[in-house]
Chain A
């Protein structure tokens, strides 16, 4: 089916999220929609899916104009969406999820599960998905859950499939598998819109690329375009894709983690006998797919986890069992992975957020009273130093962009005397410009002799920053490897292979 969007304009108040966007997706084509966070990609797709009504413009399918009042209309017209955050019910089986919203019933209103099961098996067989229709969705790995979403869309006879940032949650291997699936779907004649901000995937799978910036189409490109060309179109200026850094000047071991295990509130062992060292002046990257214990590991370092065994020492002093306050006082700087949930108080001003983890003593507090003048002076200085773009230091942090929010967190954490810096997912959800800034700051911190731990699920980030890489898999460390380890090896290790296995296999592959 041929999909055409003509002059779509969507406004929120006076903010123009989509400005005269036109797009044509030919039948059997993978059309990548490339743009930074906030460029208007998802808004456009929500217009297409009937979730938003556009002020101007029209949607055409095979040349006939469509009017979607809601997702139901879009689905009936043959548009399917694979959402970034899966719209599945965890406690339902695959078949139940697939039939949800389109339940067929037999006599007396009984659900016709048999036909749903058959649909799942048919589509699975057609594309080689290997999905068990009776499995509970919550038991399935993320990659398989995504296939359930795809099956769900295909079961409604979707001729146009929209993938909204589909690789954000996948391992590199799962991403490769998804790319194969997308190519299969293309062969079967499905038109695909592939929304992403990851350049590598685009070049691997797309037939055509449309780049969106600030709500406007800024260019079209073919997959033969270079990363640098695509990135500069996306950001609107030339960008440095690699991080400039000198070789690490490695000092003595500062942080020593020995045999650390963490048990979560459900009684599960989420970090399993992890041991590693971080030396002063080096960046240790902790790689791994989301949910393999990295979150709990960083929380344990900070004293946020209650049930911890093993020892953590920083410069010879034990950190295990200390309160968060004491850990912070010992010189640990921490950038939490969810900055809005754990790093910032959205309703507080920039200035208030800058004193959040120094709320009890000088310089911001004297005799129990806040020193507002000192705080204001400090905040002005940090806003300038970290280039935080806001109306002023009294702007509420919740209203800043993700990049500026992260700068507030960095400004706060890096303005203390640090003995260790832990940054979890420091660039998640940030645009290319902010990523550059954050990476530069992290490298500067390392160069100042501070040991740094960077936790990231993005291989690009791991490779760009790391002096050494620890790969986590199912709560354990699959191996600690040098910073220049090839991506394929890291990918295999993230899926559970040991370093030896990973290098062995990759040798066979390249042979």
Chain B
């Protein structure tokens, strides 16, 4: 049934001639680069990501309005004074998103720039582990693996980095470096187990990662009740605070929470960009991710790729765990240290289309949601859950690109909506 799909590659010289005639107003064959870029942007999933966010915010606005008490009471006398209700809706939605902005980017109510910009640094602080874990999940995606094990990898990484952080005594710099290394290795091992099991036994990585999440959770919970991780003299399942030598130094001075972990994360983003786009290993990763059969026939050791990719993926997710214990919460941690980041990372990777810089900015967006969500609740009394709803809607819209395309009437990529020059070139 090869002819059911319009054969894109084949040419109809007549159609092309007709189409390239100036009267038809179709794209001329030698279109400038910028318009080709724009078309890719519109047809590709970058636009989908942005529009999914827009749509989710719009639906979130509807929900805010529906649940707002002022709106509800104004709706009671809608027919006598409809303007009241619209005013109430505006106040509720605008107020909510203004609070979100003020909590995540810049707070205009502060007098000084230093105080006003504080929310943005909070956003970056929240974004740091999200980006790291998102990169790990995205890397696995590119190899065709679904890494749901972010939680487990983060917990193991946090335990390793944390143990080094509070129990060893090392000089400044060295201590931090060793702690980071221990955490990343811990995450890598936890991820590598998954790759190894998949390569050796064919076990499905989704099941293995989910199960290893539980193993990691209860292992760390257990260790938190033994002298290995538990703070001496305490009954709480919590570690002692990190040694000062092992903590990420604050980036912008003690007034802000944003810490040097962000630098590691930027470095990780550059590394993943190089790995996937410029390295031989990344080429093999992508080949296996797109078509493992062809990769195998071309002599690529697919099983090895699975193991190595999961090692690196786990290591990157591990960096998120490290950033949590050495940067965000340095006063000792319990078994909730992953804070759901391992799962949010999946969303971040999806929103970032599994591209390193896409993940970077998606991570910052989600960091903003986290930072802004609290101020939204504090300032406007809107439950922080609405932010979670918006986040979930983003995933939903990204998972359904045809829906977004329909709503915004975007062209379907690959469809011969307009005969492009590539079509013209192909004759057999």
Contact = CB atoms under 8 A, between A and B. Distances in A.
B280 A360 contact: yes
Interface in A122-178: 164
B426 interface: yes
A414 interface: no
A58 B5 CA distance: 22
A76 to B, nearest CB: 22
Given A359-B280, A370-B278, A401-B7, A346 B290 contact: yes
B278 A369 contact: yes
A46 B420 CA distance: 26
A359 B287 contact: yes
B24 to A, nearest CB: 9
Nearest to B5: A12
Interface of B: 1-10, 12-15, 19, 26, 278-281, 283-284, 286-287, 290-291, 293-301, 414-422, 425-428
Interface in A297-325: 302, 304, 323-325
Contacts of B291: 341, 344-347
Contacts of A302: 297
Contacts of A359: 280, 283-284, 287, 298, 300
A336 B296 CA distance: 12
Given A13-B415, A359-B298, A389-B426, 8 more contacts: A12-B6, A13-B6, A51-B4, A341-B293, A342-B296, A359-B280, A369-B280, A433-B428
A14 B416 contact: yes
Interface of A: 12-17, 19, 37-43, 46, 51, 83-85, 164, 214-215, 302, 304, 323-325, 327-329, 334, 336, 341-348, 352, 355-357, 359-360, 365, 368-370, 372, 389-391, 395, 399-405, 429-431, 433-434
Nearest to A42: B3
Contacts of A46: 4
Contact of B294 (A85, A345, A434): A345
Contacts of B294: 341-345, 356
Most chain A beta-carbon contacts within 10 A, residue among B4, B12, B296: B12
Contacts of A13: 6, 415-418
B259 to A, nearest CB: 31
B426 A400 contact: yes
A43 to B, nearest CB: 5
Contacts of A356: 287, 294-295, 298
Most chain A beta-carbon contacts within 10 A, residue among B14, B295, B418, B426: B426
Contacts of A368: 279-281
A357 B299 contact: yes
13 contacts: A12-B416, A37-B3, A214-B14, A215-B12, A328-B298, A342-B293, A347-B291, A369-B278, A370-B280, A390-B426, A399-B8, A399-B422, A401-B428
A231 to B, nearest CB: 15
B7 A389 contact: no
A391 B421 contact: yes
A389 B6 contact: no
Contacts of A400: 9, 426
Most chain A beta-carbon contacts within 10 A, residue among B14, B280, B293, B300: B280
Contact of B287 (A42, A345, A390, A434): A345
A404 B8 CA distance: 12
A434 B428 CA distance: 6
A38 B3 contact: yes
Task: Please give me the 9 A-B residue pairs with the lowest Cβ-Cβ distance, nearest first.
Answer: A12-B6, A401-B9, A42-B3, A357-B298, A391-B422, A403-B428, A325-B299, A365-B280, A356-B298
Contacts of B422: 390-391, 395, 399
Given A16-B15, A344-B291, A389-B425, A328 B280 contact: no
A14 B19 contact: yes
A399 B10 CA distance: 9
Nearest to A366: B280
B65 to A, nearest CB: 40
A325 B425 CA distance: 35
Nearest to A236: B13
Contacts of A327: 299
A133 B298 CA distance: 45
A86 to B, nearest CB: 12
A15 B419 contact: yes
A14 B418 contact: yes
Nearest to B8: A399
Contacts of A431: 428
Nearest to B422: A391
Contacts of A334: 297
B2 A42 contact: yes
Contact of A347 (B5, B290, B419): B290
A355 B295 CA distance: 11
Most chain A beta-carbon contacts within 10 A, residue among B6, B8, B19, B284: B6
A365 B419 CA distance: 36
A390 to B, nearest CB: 6
A389 B3 contact: no
B278 to A, nearest CB: 5
Nearest to A343: B294
Contacts of B293: 341-342
A391 B424 CA distance: 8
Contact of B426 (A40, A355, A360, A401): A401
A40 B425 contact: no
B428 A84 contact: no
Nearest to A364: B280
A15 B416 contact: yes
B275 to A, nearest CB: 10
Contacts of A402: 2, 9, 428
Most chain B beta-carbon contacts within 10 A, residue among A83, A334, A342, A359: A359
Nearest to B420: A391
Nearest to A12: B6
A48 to B, nearest CB: 13
A343 B426 contact: no
A329 to B, nearest CB: 8
Contacts of A433: 428
Nearest to B411: A13
A94 to B, nearest CB: 24
B428 A404 contact: yes
Nearest to A431: B428
Contacts of B1: 42, 83-85, 164
Contacts of B425: 389-391
A509 to B, nearest CB: 36
Contact of B414 (A38, A369, A399): A399
A239 to B, nearest CB: 13
